[in-house]
Amino acid sequence: MATACVIVCGGGPNPALDQIENLIQAYDQVYFVGADRGALRLVRAGYVLDMALGDFDSVSEEERQVIEAHSQEFQAFPSEKDDTDGHLALDMAMTRWPEADYVALGFLGERGGRLDHFLANIWLVHQPRFQAGLSRLSLLEAHHKVRFLEPGHHVLAYEPC
């Protein structure tokens, strides 16, 4: 059974939510994880979240309540922490669904996200906790797709975003 976990963070102004329908069709099971404002974006797009987490510093109290009402699991973290909300979401997803493919939207901050979060997300490949699922992780935006390959020989085929 092919399983995917869609993780949406609030990093970019326009995460590629239009790509979600393609993912739903390609997998037998799709889980939804929203990190901070990414959770609100998923809820507003009509999805019920399997998990919402983050410090929720980019949403109002009313928006936070909407997120919580549309989430099967809700976890709030302090604003001062060592991880970005996206890293927390990816770590939790890899723990909860260790065999899934992970598709992260908003991690690249296409068209205007935070540079510090973009760099942290690109360099996450060096963190040991993400190694087990790294070859199944895609950072997907409207015009970009980043995949991480393990050492070895690879034949790459064109994949439109």
Determine contact, residues 117/22, Cβ cutoff 8 Å: no
Quickly name the fold that domain 3-147 has. Rossmann fold (3.40.50)
Select from 35, 27, 43 the least CA-distant residue to 8: 35
Using one digit for the tens of pLDDT, what is the confidence trace for 78-93?
988 888 888 899 999 9
Domain boundaries, the chain: 3-147
Q: What is the model's pTM?
A: 0.88
Separation in Å, CA 142 to CA 52, 92, 145, 161: 23, 25, 8, 6
How big is the CA angle at 14 (ends 53 and 80), to the nearest 5 degrees?
35
Please say if the pLDDT value at position 109 is more than 70: no
Please say if the pLDDT value at position 111 is more than 70: no
Please say if the pLDDT value at position 148 is more than 70: yes
